[in-house]
Chains A and B, each alone.
Chain A
């Protein structure tokens, strides 16, 4: 039996999801039997503001082609104000990455609530499509352990 090799570029996407809204949103997508791209690897965090800029950069270092952060809608944070902090921090981080010439479409923040299973799927579909279009991450890549 031979397996047909898929030569098309398959991006690796890291999605940081907050425990209270977005992760539950992903769960809801699952219980509703909605499917989202298998490229997306979810990392659950207690709150979107737990995400340190270093997490984003390390994801790229370890092979991510796109990084997306998902949190509760502004105003709905389980910890009252966590996602307001995320909003400022990531705006400035993304702006800096853009300033260094790294494609700004590789990073994104989306607000997904626990009730928005369909939205989670739509967001992931869209982001995966965009990253596939952009191609492999080259400008923020760590080549070690990959060369051969």
Chain B
């Protein structure tokens, strides 16, 4: 589709123009170390950091989400639906990995039975992605066929230092571009190609560039029974860092908060690394950390691909590589399983 151009220095005007119509979320620095998506307000600058600590899945699948309230009055119980229809909003500057993660989540939440909360948020969102100018050593999105230079979404964007280039990819994207067209001029494909070319050279030099996931779909049982899991999981401390920073982890729990006459029911993220995950009357089905650790990686590399035509539920964002307290991550697991095969 057509490419539009904007001088980099006018970026804030673009943000203001978008924010005038709908809510705009932008990755901004929240501390020296981390960036996060925040509602844009005048004066906010887009972060120069590679990526946000928390992934963009928060927009569609927030960590805590109220579902319903129950209030008892005398003999009656009043039930209040806490779910709300989403307003239109724009996510600006999502990276290719996070954009792909929406596809992964869609296949879970938009399958029957459809998660209406998730669906309404997805329908009301417009995703503007941004190509990665400076990928880090922990990036391996290429392993899952993701191109960090063409990030996808409703509008994809690049910048080459002087100019910002935007290319709408969907109807929603076209609508967004139309709404701010007074700021934009026609861009040239050549300039974009140069940026893409430059990014591709960097991507080829990344230490994890050659990493390819194995197709384990017909080796489900062998992988499950692999002796490697003992060693890999032996020092896992069973925290949920990897799960909670992961853009594709989608397990949740439903809990009630009770206060006298009132109950609030909410949904919150859960982690398969926790020992009380999927706790039942008969106890937990995965009694050791090895089983829990294995579950997480089997889900990402085997179970999910089996159900979804070979699509992995890892997008190579590298957040778990940066955040695991003991540095045991999906790349080490992939390599260990490959060694065995």
Contacts and interface: CB of A to CB of B under 8 A. Distances in A.
Interface size class of A (residues with CB under 8 A): under 10
A144 interface: yes
Contacts, number: 17
B278 interface: no
A63 to B, nearest CB: 8
Interface stretch (B95-103, B259-267, B311-319): B259-267
A145 interface: yes
A148 B264 CA distance: 11
Interface residues of B, number: 9
Contacts of B259: 62-63, 142, 144-146
B77 to A, nearest CB: 14
B198 to A, nearest CB: 48
Interface in B63-107: 69, 80
Interface in B236-289: 257-260, 262-264
Contacts of B262: 145
Interface in A118-148: 142, 144-146, 148
A62 B80 CA distance: 21
Contacts of A142: 259
Interface in A33-64: 62-63
Most buried by B among A62, A63, A145, A146: A145
A5 to B, nearest CB: 20
Contacts of B258: 145
Interface string A8-20: 0000000000000
A63 B262 CA distance: 13
Contact of B257 (A63, A145, A148): A145
B14 to A, nearest CB: 36
Contacts of A145: 69, 257-260, 262-264
A145 B257 CA distance: 8
B332 to A, nearest CB: 38
Interface in A56-98: 62-63
A146 B80 CA distance: 14
Contacts of B260: 145
Contacts of A63: 259
A36 to B, nearest CB: 24
Contacts of A144: 257, 259, 264
Nearest to B266: A144
Interface string A22-41: 00000000000000000000
A145 B260 CA distance: 9
Contacts of B264: 144-145
Contacts of A148: 69, 80
Nearest to B258: A145
A144 B232 CA distance: 41
A62 B264 CA distance: 14
A94 B259 CA distance: 25
A145 B66 CA distance: 11
Nearest to A63: B259
Interface string B37-69: 000000000000000000000000000000001
Contacts of B257: 144-145
A142 B69 CA distance: 15
A144 to B, nearest CB: 5
B98 to A, nearest CB: 30
A145 B265 CA distance: 10
**Could you say which of B258, B259, B260 has the most chain A C-beta atoms within 10 Å of its C-beta?**
B259
A63 B264 CA distance: 16
B71 to A, nearest CB: 9
A17 to B, nearest CB: 22
Contacts of B69: 145, 148
A144 B258 CA distance: 9
Nearest to A61: B259
Interface in B193-214: none
Interface of A: 62-63, 142, 144-146, 148
- Nearest 9 Cβ contacts at the A-B interface: A145-B262, A145-B259, A144-B264, A144-B257, A145-B264, A62-B259, A145-B257, A144-B259, A145-B263
5 contacts: A63-B259, A145-B257, A145-B259, A145-B264, A148-B80
Interface of B: 69, 80, 257-260, 262-264
Given A142-B259, A145-B264, A146-B259, 14 more contacts: A62-B259, A63-B259, A144-B257, A144-B259, A144-B264, A145-B69, A145-B257, A145-B258, A145-B259, A145-B260, A145-B262, A145-B263, A148-B69, A148-B80
